[in-house]
Structure 1
Amino acid sequence: MPKNRHRRLSALVALGAVTALLAGCATGSNADVSGEPSEGRPVVLTTFTVLADIARNVAGDRLDVRSITKAGAEIHGYEPTPRDIAAASDADLILDNGLGLESWFARFVETADAPHAVVSDGVETIDITGDAYAGKPNPHAWMSPLNVQLYVDNIVAAFSELDPAGADAYAANGAAYNDELQRIHDDLVADLATVPAEQRALVTCEGAFSYLARDAGLTEAYIWPVNAEQQATPQQIRQTIEFVQDNDVPAVFCESTVSDRPMQQVVEATDAVFGGTLYVDSLSEQDGPVPTYLDLIRHDAETITAALTGSAS
């Protein structure tokens, strides 16, 4: 692909210096971006580990797919460092989730000399209903396996444009992956069918499960709508306690990238048990519980159904 890497690298490093100044000259990096040779393969840059894993399943061995953030990183407030930005200067394609998730990424995309695709294009969005974010689309669309089928279709199209010779391979990989996603969705719906209607509620710390709850026929409740610096006000905890009590919710949950202390207060004030930790914004390391997106969505689905059906050990 024709490109002027020297010009792009200079622009990206300049942007990185501004980013570092705005971030208080922070050091270190949460990035999974690698400066290692790509062995001649086009480099695809993604914003977070979940998206990178989905893209790798479509790419096979034809593309070098990288993530800016590393396993365990919280995506909402991430601030890229100069190292992150400079290391990504070889990108041939940039993929991001969109829907306002990576607000920190906008200037990077504008400066980078590479094609850009938003993988959530075409998703039927659900609006956030609380706090300052009310009325904006919930960005966690990947928490629905059915939505990720659309992600995959968009990725197949973007990869086929980047590498037309691999179009058939990308289409085949995408179709196989979408079959796996459909099976996970079907299993989730079937397992939750045994939960009494009045207890079909998903209560979490962050409102990141709107799409999964819709797919599974669950009522969603949460302590705060979107991760932010100031979380879990007394009023939010009180409202969650009242919801759990009024609906006789058997179990509540929290996400891996935030503290579960606020939800433990809900547990102490109600008859609900803590149903387990759910994963949303990040995969785990390879030896952890959710090293891939399919592992993540299976883990969450199984944790939710086991706790709500009373079959958890």
Structure 2
Amino acid sequence: MLVPLVAVLLAALAGCGTPAPEKERPLVLATFTVIADIARNVAGEHLDVESITKVGAEIHGYEPTPGDLRRAAGADLIIDNGLGLEAWFEQFLQDVDAPRVTVSDGVEPIDIAADAYAGRPNPHAWMSPLNVEIYVDNLVAAFSELDPQHAADYAANGEAYAGELRTVHDELVADLHTLPADARALVTCEGAFSYLTRDTGLTEIYIWPVNAEQQATPQQIAGVIDAVEADDIPAVFCESTVSDRPMQQVVEATGAAYGGVLYVDSLSEADGPVPTYLDLLRYNARTITAALTGSDG
């Protein structure tokens, strides 16, 4: 009897020394990299947050892959920006049972003023860190409902991140306030900066209001050329996810400098200039200020 008893005891002791496998963390899918980064700051260590789209992807006209659908089928929560940004999203959700949260709910939208999109909300509300405080509140509520056990942590993470957002907002206002009165115009390919220009007192000029399949029209380019020449605007910009060829036509016609690439719809890779949302805001402010003042940044 001793041998079987010893065997049982040894097996029990061995079992005590082997930790039980940890339960996988709930999976949260965000529609694009910027929203995923914001969500990770709220989620902390309790949730796995991934982006459906990869770095550099154009979010407006994205076409989901079968792999995206498989990931969504296993997700515990899906988060989108809303305000008409993800034109593909409603169809994407048709065969997905995961709950959804739209992080822009509660944001006061700025309507697009021109072209075929006139009257629709400008979807780029995250370009204002003040708006992203609302995003954070929505994420805290959604994560707390998904995982009530860690609700206090989500609230604390959200409060800490909101403090960082307010700091960055103050930095943006201070940095862009240094622009002289005759250089307080932001000329870009897409009209993605309405919320930023509202916060910082700049004038927004763009070639097209929202990224779409069609290229910029000659009329759109001519209108920006006229505006740059009329106000003698020293520099113009374009976004990382679209071709800058139309804006280079503006540069050639006006003599304005090409001020560089701005980031809106996507972060960069981890070793790039904007690996996080807060980096994106700071990088854009430095790039805009340096180009419009003629400094080295």
Of 66, 71, 79, the match for 1:82: 66
Checking the alignment, whether the CA contact within 8 Å between 1:278 and 1:303 is kept in structure 2 is: yes
Checking the alignment, whether the CA contact within 8 Å between 1:188 and 1:305 is kept in structure 2 is: no
**Closer/same/farther in 2, CA of residues 38 and 105 from structure 1, 3 Å limit:** farther
Equivalence for 2:41: 57
Superposed displacement of residue 111, structure 1: 2.9
The answer as to 2:151 corresponding to 1:172 is no
User: Aligned with 2:220: secondary structure?
Assistant: helix
User: Aligned with 2:291: secondary structure?
Assistant: helix
- TM-score w.r.t. the length of structure 2 is 0.90
Checking the alignment, whether the CA contact within 8 Å between 2:72 and 2:78 is kept in structure 1 is: no
Superposed displacement of residue 199, structure 1: 2.2
Equivalence for 2:286: 302
User: Aligned with 1:125: secondary structure?
Assistant: coil
After superposition, where does 1:66-105 map in structure 2 within 5 Å? 66-105=50-89
Of 32, 43, 46, the match for 2:30: 46
The CA distance in 1 between the partners of 2:172 and 2:232, in whole Å, is 21
The CA distance in 1 between the partners of 2:71 and 2:212, in whole Å, is 28
Of 231, 234, 248, the match for 1:264: 248
The letter of the residue matching 1:225 is P
The letter of the residue matching 2:56 is G
Q: Deviations over 1:77-118 (max 9, x none)?
A: 111111210122111111100001112110232432122110
Equivalence for 2:261: 277
Superposed displacement of residue 306, structure 1: 1.6
Q: Which runs of 5+ in 1 are unaligned?
A: 1-36
The answer as to 2:134 corresponding to 1:150 is yes
**Closer/same/farther in 2, CA of residues 215 and 77 from structure 1, 3 Å limit:** same
After superposition, where does 1:120-139 map in structure 2 within 5 Å? 120-139=104-123
Checking the alignment, whether the CA contact within 8 Å between 1:144 and 1:215 is kept in structure 2 is: yes
Equivalence for 2:8: none
Equivalence for 1:185: 169
Aligned-CA RMSD value = 1.5
The answer as to 2:187 corresponding to 1:241 is no
The letter of the residue matching 2:156 is A
The CA distance in 2 between the partners of 1:54 and 1:123, in whole Å, is 16
Q: Deviations over 1:112-160 (max 9, x none)?
A: 2122110001111011122221111011111111111111111011101
The CA distance in 1 between the partners of 2:22 and 2:126, in whole Å, is 27
The CA distance in 2 between the partners of 1:215 and 1:312, in whole Å, is 24
After superposition, where does 1:17-32 map in structure 2 within 5 Å? none
Equivalent pairs counted in the alignment come to 277
Of 193, 196, 208, the match for 1:209: 193
Checking the alignment, whether the CA contact within 8 Å between 1:38 and 1:64 is kept in structure 2 is: no
The CA distance in 1 between the partners of 2:275 and 2:174, in whole Å, is 25
User: Aligned with 1:88: secondary structure?
Assistant: helix
The answer as to 2:235 corresponding to 1:251 is yes
Superposed displacement of residue 58, structure 1: 0.5
The CA distance in 1 between the partners of 2:77 and 2:290, in whole Å, is 40
Checking the alignment, whether the CA contact within 8 Å between 1:192 and 1:309 is kept in structure 2 is: no
The answer as to 2:236 corresponding to 1:290 is no
Q: Which runs of 5+ in 2 are unaligned?
A: 1-20
The CA distance in 1 between the partners of 2:116 and 2:252, in whole Å, is 29
The CA distance in 2 between the partners of 1:305 and 1:39, in whole Å, is 48
Q: Which has the greater radius of gyration?
A: 2
The CA distance in 1 between the partners of 2:290 and 2:168, in whole Å, is 15
The CA distance in 1 between the partners of 2:23 and 2:64, in whole Å, is 25
In percent, how many aligned pairs have the same letter? 74
- TM-score w.r.t. the length of structure 1 is 0.85
The letter of the residue matching 2:202 is L
User: Aligned with 2:249: secondary structure?
Assistant: helix
Runs of 4+ in structure 1 off by over 3 angstroms are none
